[in-house]
Structure 1
């Protein structure tokens, strides 16, 4: 039924301002809330969102920028964010940077031009900080998966998880450990995780830095990186891979080289991807709480939209992890 806010108020026996407070989550007495709620349910009333957006100058939409679509971690972050935002009456608009990783700034400019309420950026890297992309953004912004001290963010304990995975390798008697890393432009993957490996090795008395091959995030790249590690260090007996996809590729290269996993070489990785369950052996990994990451990012964004931003205060949350031990160690 196409009704006006004033008509809803008349049927409920309240003022139009009371209906407005109901629709916007404002304070109401229990009696007024129940009366308005009953009328809205009986009439099937749907608020005119376009009119609301025109009055406030803000569209109840939040943009989510992701590095790629076909990823378990991405889908979990988006799921968590959408869950929280939808309950608050916000729609989500997804933007993928898989084929244009340098266009974070362009996406944010587009979101501002369309008066979106805010943005969640999962595809951030250190270049976005250096070149002022985030600093120049005029809508509320929350970064996920990276820890940038001057920005609102939800990030993971990548260092701690990598250290624990390396300690697991050491516990299995592995002493000649190599790394397959991500690029340093992604600080969480390319720096923090490798520093966690180094910390575990240093505490165990292994002072030289582990041999490391920098790769990207794909299985084929992990395969090539493992071949390079074997060429440089044929006696390697443990491998830390910064992502599960690279770990899967590494195990393929090891098998091709006649190395048994885990008898000859143990392999650990990051992400707890579905493919780990069907590999042989199943891959030991660190699971990050990606769905919670999305929920927390959305909650921070909603808090900023309600209370306003403070340049002297950033909202930051660090999430834990879970080591999932399987057959590859």
Structure 2
């Protein structure tokens, strides 16, 4: 069995240097490269449990997700998981099922399990959340919502809304139906909508009707059925997420409203799976996997007490596919 001593002897360095290397400490680039090659050649795998006991670190990270049936959450998790595996962390993933109290309970629960840090995919941050975060005194990172005083990774939701609006206006649409979600979710329920409204307000001919619905596809489908039947003059429909947009398309099909011939539809998310649906959905592609990767990298820096930026914002891109077309 290969030990740290073996690696140190072969590299011609002190055992303490190899230990610093294994714990992401300060090692010269030349030495790091040399140890990298030996570790790979010898197939050395550090005893992470023993290391964690010695360093009073568990190499475990807690992740609190809003719900299980979310494509965006799954993509973020895949980014976190890949980077965690690479960096030697194990994940404890908890599902709050969009319940604020469960999120707060999990913050305390994860702290009791001695995680090194916590990542929260947030819908909102209440005063109770802030108290829990302060109480546990752990490195804590929020994904998806801009929260003052807490390190965050966010997407440019305002710009995403603006991009969809510009696309609708360019195609000549003036009667628009926008299915949003609760304002409690600032990023999805407020910022995306605000970006859309501020852009469409520039054209006084455009009328936008806003309807609140649910993230749950079945509920979004029922809401869309009701309001598409009531608003037959609508030519452009926006779903606050790709899942909501797909529910809208299904409702339109049930009502014999052809997409995009009778009504164009757009969403937000950009999940690869939806490029295989016919008609393929026009959407704003978000960097969800990258946000997960960046979250684990940033949390690791916090654990090691290295400097970080308080907020990191990721850009997005409008992908024009088959569900939108120029109005006749």
Shift of 1:189: 0.9
- Quote the offset at 1:125 in angstroms: 1.6
Query: Is the Cα–Cα contact under 8 Å of residues 104 and 129 in structure 2 kept in the other structure?
Result: no
Query: Within 5 A, what are the aligned runs for 1:45-84?
Result: 45-84=44-83
Mapped to 2, the partners of 1:29 and 1:226 lie a distance apart of: 59
Residue of structure 1 equivalent to 2:156: 157
Distance 1:37 1:171, change over 3 A: closer
Residue 316 of structure 2: aligned partner:
321
Query: What is the Cα-based RMSD across aligned positions, in Å?
Result: 2.8
The one-character-per-residue Cα deviations of 1:242-267 (angstroms, maximum 9, x if unpaired) are: 01111111112222222221122111
Q: CA distance change for structure 1 residues 52 and 198 in 2, over 3 Å: closer, same or farther? A: same
Aligned to 2:232: 234
Picking from 244, 247, 256, the partner of 2:245 is 247
Give the equivalent residue in structure 2 for 1:284: 282
Instruction: Tell me, in whole angstroms, the C-alpha distance in 2 between the residues paired with 1:8 and 1:75.
Output: 38
Deviation at 1:277, TM superposition (A): 3.0
1:108 matched residue in structure 2: 107
Residues 4-52 of structure 1: CA deviation (Å, up to 9, x unaligned): 6456656766543233223223345688667766775676544332332
Q: Output the CA distance in 2 between the equivalents of 1:143 and 1:81.
A: 13
TM-score (norm 2): 0.86
Structure 2's unaligned 5+ residue stretches are none
Given the superposition, is the C-alpha separation of residues 27 and 144 from structure 1 closer, same or farther in structure 2, using an over 3 Å criterion? closer
Range with greater deviation from structure 2 (271-280 or 50-59):
271-280
Q: Could you say if the C-alpha distance between residues 202 and 322 of structure 1 is closer, same or farther in structure 2, counting changes exceeding 3 Å?
A: same
What is the match of residue 91 of structure 2?
92
Residues of 2 paired with 1:266 and 1:45: CA distance? 56
TM-score by length of 1: 0.86
Q: Does the CA-based 8 Å contact 2:229-2:255 persist in structure 1? A: no
Cα pair 2:108 2:132 within 8 Å, conserved? no
Extract unaligned runs of 5+ from structure 1. none
Distance 1:135 1:100, change over 3 A: same
